[in-house]
């Protein structure tokens, strides 16, 4: 009997590809269902034989640990335009100042 191994909702394509490679490398028979076109259900990777579930879960646990270590070892993405962010914040502050000042002067 088939059993769902992982749900592919919000799973990046590279991670899904790596999961497929791990399963294929360990000769675990699986198939994939595509996502629903209206987004109601996500795609999934299913095992054809539920007797392979324990081995597949162990492989997925190992893979997730390795991926987590690999992602944490990578440098964080640099901020692209820090000066532009400061300019936007200054513009927002000016708009707020000129929007609020008329009401602050009403009481005095």
pLDDT digits (tens, 9 = 90+) for 34-43: 988 887 888 9
Q: Do 59 and 52 form a contact (C-beta atoms < 8 A)? A: no
Model confidence pLDDT, tens digit, residues 29-81: 999 999 888 878 889 999 999 999 999 999 999 999 999 999 888 877 777 78
- Give the pLDDT score at 15: 93
Model confidence pLDDT, tens digit, residues 83-96: 998 999 999 999 99
Backbone angles phi, psi at 27, to 5 degrees: 55, 45
pTM: 0.65
Q: What is the mean pLDDT of residues 4-26?
A: 93
What's the Rg (C-alpha) of the chain?
A: 25
- Give the pLDDT score at 21: 96
CATH domain 3-73 topology: Alpha-Beta Plaits (3.30.70)
């Amino acid at each position: 009997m088939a059993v769902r191994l992982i749900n592919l909702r919000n799973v990046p394509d590279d991670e899904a590809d790596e999961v497929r490679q791990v399963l294929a490398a360990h000769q675990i028979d699986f198939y994939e269902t595509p996502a629903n076109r209206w987004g109601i259900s996500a795609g999934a990777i299913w095992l054809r034989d539920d007797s392979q579930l324990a081995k597949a879960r162990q492989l997925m646990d190992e893979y997730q640990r390795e991926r987590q270590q690999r992602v944490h070892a990578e440098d964080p993405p640099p901020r692209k335009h820090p000066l532009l962010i400061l300019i936007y914040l200054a513009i927002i502050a000016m708009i707020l100042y000129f929007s609020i000042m008329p009401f602050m002067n009403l009481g005095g």
